[in-house]
Amino acid sequence: MIFKNLAANQDISDQEFDKVYPDYIQNISSLHFTSVQVAKEASHYLAEKSSDVLDIGAGVGKFCMIGSVWTQSRYVGVEQRSSLCDIANNVISRYSLNDVDIINSNITDIPFRDFRAFYFFNTFLENICTEDAIDQSMPVSMELYRKYSNFVRDQLDQMPRGTRLVTYHSYLRELPESYVLKHTSSNAHLKYWERR
């Protein structure tokens, strides 16, 4: 019902939405996962230009699931923690959601060429900051942070003109100079980019 209500443009609070997840995910959701409102706004912008959207570090799939019912595009989320993927895929099958896949992999194993739109919610922060981490499984390493950020920046730079990117609470280390800022919202924490 929650996804049907969302698709029908009924107001859904994050508290309501997060009930699809186990209790401990509900408790950390506001810090680590995209809110319903931000997911709607960001997916609307991304889906205008692309039928395939990649979430770089998908967590429990909240952004992808909301995007898949709010827009006409297909969403792929890549998540390195298998426990979060299992939770996401359990929700996807329980609610028979289409057009959304959450893959258990590291982002460095994913070719970006199949997508023309990307979402990035400060994905690699846990490699440089242990405060309020989802769990202790992420290695703290500036080297890894740089490696992952550089990988994403290089991949985004190779994308064709018109490729769209939304960054949320990002330090923009992953942003190539070839992307132009189109507008911002959420006190400028949410940034909408397009490749020149």
Q: 79 near 121, Cβ under 8 Å? A: no
Among residues 47, 65, 69, 107, the one that binds ligand SAM under rule CB under 6 A: 107
Q: Which is nearer to ligand SAM, 15 or 196 (CB)?
A: 15
CA distance 131 to 60: 20
Q: Which is nearer to ligand SAM, 33 or 192 (CB)?
A: 33
Q: Which residue number places its CB atom closest to ligand SAM?
A: 57
Q: Which is nearer to ligand SAM, 154 or 196 (CB)?
A: 154
Among residues 43, 50, 123, 163, the one that binds ligand SAM under rule CB under 6 A: 123
Among residues 32, 74, 116, 191, the one that binds ligand SAM under rule CB under 6 A: 32
Q: Is 58 in the site for ligand SAM (CB under 6 A)?
A: yes
Among residues 27, 106, 150, 158, the one that binds ligand SAM under rule CB under 6 A: 106
- Which residues contact ligand SAM by CB under 6 A? 32-34, 55, 57-59, 62-63, 78-81, 84, 106-107, 121-124, 148
